[in-house]
Amino acid sequence: MDRTYKKIQEGIENFEDIEDKMNSAGTAAQKEKQEADLKTQIKKLQRLRDQLKTWQTASDIKDKAPIVEHRRLIEVQMEKFKVIEKEMKTKQYSTVGLISHSKMDPREQQRIALIQWLQGKVEELQQQVETAEAELETLQAGAKKKGKAGEAGQARTELL
């Protein structure tokens, strides 16, 4: 049993090392290779987990706490792998991929936020221009009807 516990600890360490390598990998090919390595490592851990399950049901083993603890550690790694696998299967330009801004690096998030801010300001300025043009047309139409009435209207027209 101690040998199995040791294998579980080594397997978890290997899994975390591979996970770190995958997260720091630059290209998609490197990430795919690391994902394949993760998959083989999780398969090994799952086999050890199955062994723990059989020990857990055995009646001759009295102290089952370490068995449950190690099984839980393996299941935590399995959950991590599940999340990683889902991320890898998400296409970059799919709806889900485009929505997941939290997975972008901070620079990219900052760039997108800046672009959105600029687009908002451009829209505000366009609305102001449209409002000013409408006001100008109204003042010009009023000046034509009234002739040369009101210097305030004429000053506003010149301002616009």
In tens, the pLDDT along 19-65 reads 888 888 778 788 888 888 999 999 999 999 999 888 888 888 888 88
Within the chain, what is the greatest distance between any pair of CA atoms?
Answer: 109
- Give which of 101, 99, 84, 100 is closest to 37, Cα–Cα: 84
Alpha helices in 61-150 (DSSP H): 65-89, 95-99, 106-146
What are the tens digits of pLDDT across the range 124-151?
999 999 888 888 888 887 777 665 555 6
Q: Which pLDDT score is estimated for 29?
A: 84
Cα 20 from Cα 34, distance rounded (Å): 9
In this prediction, residue 25 carries a pLDDT of 79
Q: Check whether 94 has a pLDDT greater than 60.
A: no
